[in-house]
Structure 1
Amino acid sequence: MREAATMDVTTRTASPVAVGELGQSLGFLLRLAQLQSFEDFFSAHGPQGLKPGEFSVLFVIHRNPGIRQSALGQRLMIKRAHMTKLIRAFEDRGLVSRRIPDEDRRAIELTLTDAGIAALDTASGAFFAYEETTGAPLTLIERDRLVALLRKFTGIDEVAG
């Protein structure tokens, strides 16, 4: 068992709070990092418009025209019911079109509409500019290393295209 460590968490708090062994927990630290990133994203300094999850879904559809809704949900780890609701909302906003292929009537293929591409283009500039600052406490080398480790941890391998 690891030696009990005391870690002070001062980010976003008025005074230090000891978290003990939680400071060595990968899951705990990933969750705090996600919450901090989302808080920054939704602040006045972050991009306005699409939520991070919405942006991610549209971005992946754009990179994979005709992607099956089930494959998209699996890759982004979005539950089927939530994915269905999200895609319907995108369709209602005119951002995504759905197609049922003749060879598999149970499948749904997704493509961005012209309005979806325009919304993504608008959001992409702000999103990726924001991404440049989200790792501000880290050096560029540290940020690149963290991204590489998280890609390894999550199993994300870039597919050509």
Structure 2
Amino acid sequence: MAYFKFDPTLDDDRDTRQTLLVPLILQLVERGDADDAKPNVRLPLPSHARLRRVCERLIAEPASIDTLERWAEQIGASARTVARLFRQETGMSFGQWREQLRLAEAMSRLAIGRPVAQVAQDLGYADSRTFSVMFRRAFGTTPQQFAGK
């Protein structure tokens, strides 16, 4: 199973702090964290080329609300095939994988001090309350507590 390696040189408009922190956070996400008190996200990437393209596009635009059916259409496969391959290659459904991506991205953005409302908006949530509920469900802590505010 392969994992996404973030190349900070591809996105020059991000500030230096984020450029340095994002790869570190993604590396921690890959490995998981032995300390159960800290939030933990697993984000495996499929080795299947077409699925990999879907994942890379979602990583570039985590707020995307395109459905599995839409992604399947874009890569020339049936939604059933994509769903089956996603589970085989990542150990989770497409929806679960997308949520893990958003959680990883949320942790990254919160860690560099972005406001919760901005993170929620950037990740495609209707409002910060919806985002906070998802974050708390996943980690047992609020985004504000995670950010140390």
- TM-score using structure 1 length: 0.31
Larger Rg: 1
Q: Which structure has greater helix proportion?
A: 2
Normalization by structure 2: what TM-score? Answer: 0.33
